[in-house]
Amino acid sequence: MNFTWMAWTLPTALFFIAIFTLIFSMAVWEYLSPGGNPRAGVLRFETTRGDRLFVSLLGSAFIHLAWLGLIGPNLWWALALSVVYAIGVFRYV
């Protein structure tokens, strides 16, 4: 297949590998411990592990877009902020 139309750079490949690794890890976690442990956090509605992963990924995308727009292309601090955000989502949402 010819993928020359896409910008397959190392950061792009690492991004997709990370997403697929997260989804695979969540699938293994669900297989080993079914049910997802739904709970009501600060948002006051029940969320499962998958819901919290989705909220984390969506929020991280917005953090990175805001960082690009407001600060610039050095995204290491945005990545660190996204990891802290994801830990907070998994802990409190």
Give the model's pLDDT for residue 92. 92
Cβ-Cβ contacts under 8 Å for 41 (sequence gap 6 or more): 47, 92, 93
What confidence tier does 6 reach under pLDDT thresholds 50, 70, 90? confident
Report the amino acid identity of residue 22.
L
3 pLDDT more than 80: no
Give the model's pLDDT for residue 44. 86
What is the arithmetic mean of pLDDT over 58-70? 94
Closest by CA position to 50, among listed 29, 32, 66, 64: 29
Question: How does pLDDT run across 7-55, given as a tens digit for each residue?
Answer: 777 877 888 899 999 999 999 988 998 876 788 888 788 888 888 999 9
Evaluate if pTM is beyond 0.85. no
DSSP secondary structure of the chain: ---TTS---HHHHHHHHHHHHHHHHHHHHHHHSTT---EE-TTSSEE-HHHHHHHHHHHHHHHHHHHHHHT-S--HHHHHHHHHHHHHHHHH-
